[in-house]
Amino acid sequence: MSSNASHVDPNTASAQALLADDRLPWHRKITYGFTDMSGNLLYCIISSYMLYFFTNVFGLSVAMAGVISLIARVFDAVGAPVMGILVDHTHSKYGKNRPWFLWMSLPFAIFVWLLFTTPSISSGAKVIYAGVMYILADLSYTAVSTPITSVLPNLTSDTDGRMQANSIRLVLGNVGNFFAVTFIIPFAGMLGGGNDQKGWSMAVGIYAIVAFILLIIAFLDMREKNISSERVITIKESFKAAKSNWPWVLIVTANLAYWTAFIVRNASMPYYFQYNMGSKGLISFFNGFTIIQVIGMASVPFFVKFMHKWGTTIFFLLMTMVGQAWIGFAGSNTTSALIAWCIACIGSGSACTMFFAMVGDTVDFGEWKNGIRANGFLTAIGASFCIQMGTGFGSFIASMILKSFGFNAANATQSAHSLAGISFTFVWVPIIIYAISLILMIFYRKWENHEPVVKADLAKRHAEDAKKAETANA
């Protein structure tokens, strides 16, 4: 027994010691979740109500609103990898990611508030104003959301700790989503007193203040590991980290499809309940039940233990598609539609949790494969780019389908053809796009099975580097 022990590789032992000592405290997992709660408190108003706000409050046509959304999102999607490179090039006493929460929290809050503020200007100037504010709000969100994802691998190297922190983050993010999508319409109505434009500006302004405070709290509590040893990588190295990183390519493509489907559903949802179901009040009522998805989000770590990450993602995507189809067959039966909506929300929320967790794992693969750890660049594409581009595609697809079916916000009652278009956009288009994401995740299985090798090799490399550094400083 003692003979075997004497032959233990000291580098392996050091690696195991580093992994055992790298644990993320619970209070930091919670304040890490504040970042997503803040982001969702404002961004979910954009993703769920931007198209509706532009057509029914701001006063744009559905086609113009869709075009503005697409142009703004394409512009901001290009900014995502740029933001990732900026994060990789950041070097401060706070780390690479953490300072961005301090720098961008106020611009993020201000630009989102201005986006939902309607100025008294000409119709042409309003189009320009809407486009500019949309781009600025999205860019500031990208500057906040990119470090939210890229900071996780720097908080801890423990896979279970990352999964727990990510689940808590998305549960709290869902709380932000709940307050955003459930109360913003009645809150705006109450503050506006019959003036929707005034009400939306005041309501979003209050939400923006809360979001700003949450980001500052997260910044104050967060800590990044190995700040002194991190080096600034070049732009060329950032791109090299993606070379032959096939798990990253799969996650990016699948996540882009997921967000496109998700936004098609969210963008068309207010129209479906106001016109097809005949009640504007059902918009906030149904959105209030999105909080139920925390059940799935909280249970994700348990599902992963038995079904692995790829299987868990496929399971929840299937659940989402079943819920969507059920809504289509429920028709005007509100109770049946509500049950289906809850199933779809649990599925989509939990699948979202998986994508954010897995993109962090692809950072490890990039370092293992190419010797470069490009947290910012890889996670910016895998998360922020997918969200921005998916939102642009989703809103544009929804607006163009609605336009082709003759939707006009000026009509209090829509034609049968228009109602059919709203139903098709809300129920069936997301199912088709979710299926693409599901198929891609089947191919991810191979790479997930390779993760133990990646983790062990990286831990050994890091232990060797630490030993060399100690020897050099001795």
pLDDT of residue 214: 97
Q: Are residues 131 and 280 in the same domain?
A: no
Q: Are residues 174 and 315 in the same domain?
A: no
| 187 within some domain | yes
DSSP state of 226: S
Using 50, 70 and 90 to split pLDDT, how confident is the model at 8?
very low
Selection from 155, 152, 94, 101 nearest residue 362 by Cα: 152
Choose one of 206, 226, 246: the last residue of a domain.
Answer: 226
CA–CA gap between residue 62 and residue 50 (Å, rounded): 11
Average pLDDT, the chain: 87
Q: Are residues 259 and 306 in the same domain?
A: yes
The predicted-structure confidence for 30-44, as pLDDT tens digits, reads as follows 999 999 999 999 999
| 77 within some domain | yes
Q: Calculate helix-pair angle for 246-271, 386-404, nearest 10 degrees.
A: 40
The token pair at 214 is 């949450």
Using 50, 70 and 90 to split pLDDT, how confident is the model at 230?
low
pLDDT at residue 17 is higher than 60: no
CA–CA gap between residue 267 and residue 288 (Å, rounded): 16
Q: Are residues 219 and 237 in the same domain?
A: no
For residues 391 and 433, the model is more confident at: 433
Using 50, 70 and 90 to split pLDDT, how confident is the model at 474?
low
Burial class for 416, CB neighbours closer than 10 Å (0-12, 13-18, 19+) = exposed
pLDDT of residue 4: 46
Say if CB 68 and CB 131 are below 8 A apart.
Answer: yes
pLDDT of residue 229: 53
Say if CB 277 and CB 453 are below 8 A apart.
Answer: no
Q: Are residues 51 and 188 in the same domain?
A: yes
Q: Are residues 248 and 102 in the same domain?
A: no
Q: Residue 122's domain spans which residues? A: 24-226
Q: Are residues 444 and 315 in the same domain?
A: yes
pLDDT at residue 114 is higher than 90: yes
- Cβ-proximal residues to 429 (8 Å cutoff; 6+ apart), any chain: 261, 264, 397, 398, 401
Choose one of 185, 205, 226: the last residue of a domain.
Answer: 226
pLDDT at residue 5 is higher than 60: no
Choose one of 200, 226, 252: the last residue of a domain.
Answer: 226
| 2 within some domain | no
The predicted-structure confidence for 289-336, as pLDDT tens digits, reads as follows 988 988 887 788 889 888 999 999 999 999 999 999 999 999 889 999
| 467 within some domain | no
Question: 455 phi and psi, to 5 degrees?
Answer: -60, -45
List the CATH number of the domain containing 357: 1.20.1250.20
The predicted-structure confidence for 56-91, as pLDDT tens digits, reads as follows 999 999 999 999 988 887 887 778 788 888 887 888
Across 142-146, 150-154, 183-187, 373-377, least confident range: 373-377
| 254 within some domain | yes
The predicted-structure confidence for 333-347, as pLDDT tens digits, reads as follows 999 999 999 999 999
pLDDT at residue 99 is higher than 80: yes
| 15 within some domain | no
DSSP state of 157: -
Count how many domains the chain has: 2
pLDDT of residue 2: 43
| Residue whose pair of structure tokens reads 């149904």 in the numeric block | 286
Half-sphere exposure of 107 (CA within 13 A, CB side): 17
**What string of H, E and C letters represents the secondary structure of 178-206?**
HHHHHHHHHHHHHHHCCCHHHHHHHHHHH
Half-sphere exposure of 241 (CA within 13 A, CB side): 28
Q: Are residues 172 and 273 in the same domain?
A: no
Q: Are residues 242 and 222 in the same domain?
A: no
Q: Are residues 351 and 441 in the same domain?
A: yes
Q: Are residues 440 and 361 in the same domain?
A: yes
**405 CA to centre of own chain:** 30
Question: The whole model's pTM is what?
Answer: 0.74
pLDDT of residue 420: 95
Q: Which helix (H) or strand (E) holds 402?
A: helix 386-404
| 441 within some domain | yes
Q: Are residues 332 and 359 in the same domain?
A: yes
| 185 within some domain | yes
pLDDT at residue 14 is higher than 70: no
pLDDT of residue 162: 78
